[in-house]
Chains A and B, each alone.
Chain A
Amino acid sequence: MSSSATTSPVSLLDIPELPLKLICSYVGFKSLQSLRLVSKPLCHFIDTQKPSVEIDDFTIRINHDSMQLKLTSCGLNSHLLAHVLEKEMLVCSGGRIRGSENKDYLNYAFNAVKFVLNTQTTHTFKRLEYSDEFNPEFSKMFEKFLTDQNIILRVCEFSFEGNEHQALRFLPFLDSNILKRFNFCGGSESISSDDLTKLEHWKKAKHLSINNKVFCVSIQNFSHFETAGFCMHTITAQDLIYLREKYSQSPDFSSAIISYRILEPAAAQVFGEPSWKDKWVFRCYDPNFALIIDFAYQHIRFHRTHISSTTLSVIE
């Protein structure tokens, strides 16, 4: 924090503000908290400058009577667990377990999440996992905090456990330009509205993985993903022709596994006889690539591969 341009550094605190902030941003969350305890000037610097540390993974899980926070940054894990018992709340952190008379585990979790977010200005996470399917009270507190603080989370991969309604409420707090992968699971439900697929987050994401949700919407909403795993209620012949066309055209498409409840009879025959090992192989728009389609029990797999890894003659 040297203010003089001619001061030669003898310790970390003599380094100018910009590089010192850069160093703090590289140390990771856990080490940054240790650095805060080193000295008052360093603590003040960290609290005021709020360097954005790399957070690889932040997991927030809220259950009926417990909460779990896990944060991974620069290879180091921070873990906080609180479990409400009959007479007290057990709190496990940093390898130590202690009892607390205060059993308000939701507030405890909320304050811990607030602490993590308040240490940063950019709120950037490589991966965020969020689940409070069984206790929506936490979501209300969390969403209000994000709204009041005007926070938009910069998350590359978002794993959400809950229902469609909860996902629709939470996704707008994420930067749609940053989100690349959306994993969605939770209680079984049927999704027939376009609300989710209309979101920019859905349209801009590259990777999708959905479990326990059955979609009754147009298959066109899924054709832009590079990798996808989802379940449709019904697959028609037109759906398969459409996907074959889109996936053949896309230079970025890699694979899609689509499960279904009903496969219309015409769909099963739409590609005729299998061309290679019970699979259908088509040449992509890029002649160096092939699109392979194969059926398994209640699943269809589309897979784009280099032409050299298949038998060229089957598509000639």
Chain B
Amino acid sequence: MSVENAPVVDVDEAAIPVEKKMYYRFESNDKKEFRVSELAIQQSETLNRLVEAMGYTSEDVENKPAIAIENIDGKTLKLVFQWCEHHKGEAIPVDDGSVPKIVEIPEFDAKLMDIDNGLLFKLIWAADYLNIVQLLNVSCKKVANMAQGKTPAQLRRVYLLPSDEEDEAAKRAAQEAQDPRAREVEEEFEERKRQGGNSFF
């Protein structure tokens, strides 16, 4: 995908200081490309270390291939980089063990995370993978808020969790898929039982 056609993250031009800033290019696992400011990248410990280690110049950023993030799709990565751009320059919280740990979800973050639960889980996964502390905090808080006042059955639906019975059935199916002969043996056994014989002996 060419850079011209890439889904560029919106950047508030007025907020950019006069001096030239570097914008890195990243590519998701479904080949979508993003330009992200140096300052926004600092929100991610993983990406920050990566670009530091690469030591790219402005020319390198333009001429070399975009940095591939192979584990995250474009839809999720767009949310991640939108969050990073909005919160660029903000201090990264340090868990000092102080009590109680209070996390409030800012309005921007609440709107950004107004998405289906599956995508929200992906966003959490990405925030953890890219080590974006505050995004992880707010997204986990958002998921936690969904549990308020819910019964176990409601929680199962909200969090897309199988019941123990469904889980067992899925495990059995997975085992059978791994060993097709197991299914055949079981069917043969059931058939012989129906015929009334203890013919295995």
Beta-carbon contacts under 8 Å, A134-185 to B: 154, 156, 178
Beta-carbon contacts under 8 Å, B119-153 to A: 121-122, 124-125, 127-129, 136-137, 139-141, 143-145, 147-152
- The stretch from A21-29, A294-302, A306-314 touching chain B is A21-29
Q: CB < 8 Å: which of B103, B128, B152, B156 contacts A16? A: B128
CB of B111 within 8 A of chain A?
no
- Beta-carbon nearest neighbor of A14 in chain B: B121
CB of B163 within 8 A of chain A?
yes
Q: Is the CB of B71 within 8 A of A9?
A: no
CB of B59 within 8 A of chain A?
no
Chain B nearest CB, measured from A220 CB (Å) = 30
Set of chain A residues within 8 Å of B124, measured between Cβ atoms: 9, 15, 19, 23
CB of A10 within 8 A of chain B?
yes
Q: Is the CB of A76 within 8 A of B161?
A: no
Set of chain B residues within 8 Å of A5, measured between Cβ atoms: 71, 129
Chain B nearest CB, measured from A72 CB (Å) = 12
Q: Is the CB of A39 within 8 A of B151?
A: no
- Beta-carbon nearest neighbor of B167 in chain A: A39
Q: Is the CB of B121 within 8 A of A38?
A: no
CB of A75 within 8 A of chain B?
yes
Set of chain A residues within 8 Å of B125, measured between Cβ atoms: 2, 8-9, 14-16, 19
CB of B99 within 8 A of chain A?
yes
Q: What does the 1/0 interface line of A10-44 toward B look like (CB < 8 Å)?
A: 11111110110011111110010011011111100
- Beta-carbon nearest neighbor of B149 in chain A: A76
Q: Is the CB of B128 within 8 A of A19?
A: yes
Q: CB < 8 Å: which of A9, A22, A41 contacts B137? A: A22
Set of chain A residues within 8 Å of B121, measured between Cβ atoms: 9-12, 14-15
CB of A217 within 8 A of chain B?
no
CB of A6 within 8 A of chain B?
yes
Set of chain B residues within 8 Å of A38, measured between Cβ atoms: 152, 155-156, 159, 161
Set of chain B residues within 8 Å of A76, measured between Cβ atoms: 148-149
Beta-carbon contacts under 8 Å, A107-159 to B: 122, 124, 126, 154, 156
Contact A37:B152 (CB < 8 A) given known A10-B160, A15-B121, A22-B140:
yes
Chain B nearest CB, measured from A93 CB (Å) = 16
Set of chain B residues within 8 Å of A13, measured between Cβ atoms: 159, 161
- Beta-carbon nearest neighbor of A17 in chain B: B128
CB of A74 within 8 A of chain B?
yes
Set of chain A residues within 8 Å of B160, measured between Cβ atoms: 10-12
Contact A26:B100 (CB < 8 A) given known A9-B124, A11-B121, A15-B121:
no
Q: Is the CB of A124 within 8 A of B99?
A: yes
CB of B101 within 8 A of chain A?
yes
Contact A39:B100 (CB < 8 A) given known A9-B125, A15-B121:
no
Residues of A within 8 A of B (CB): 2, 5-6, 8-16, 18-19, 22-28, 31, 34-35, 37-42, 54-56, 74-76, 122, 124, 126, 154, 156, 178
Contacts A9-B118, A31-B149 given; 20 further ones with Cβ under 8 A? A6-B70, A10-B121, A11-B162, A13-B159, A13-B161, A26-B141, A31-B148, A31-B150, A34-B147, A35-B155, A39-B156, A39-B163, A39-B164, A39-B167, A40-B167, A54-B102, A74-B144, A74-B148, A76-B149, A178-B99
Residues of B within 8 A of A (CB): 70-71, 73, 97, 99-103, 118, 121-122, 124-125, 127-129, 136-137, 139-141, 143-145, 147-152, 155-156, 159-164, 167
9 pairs of residues in contact across A and B, judged by CB atoms under 8 Å: A12-B160, A16-B128, A24-B144, A31-B155, A39-B161, A54-B100, A122-B99, A124-B99, A126-B100
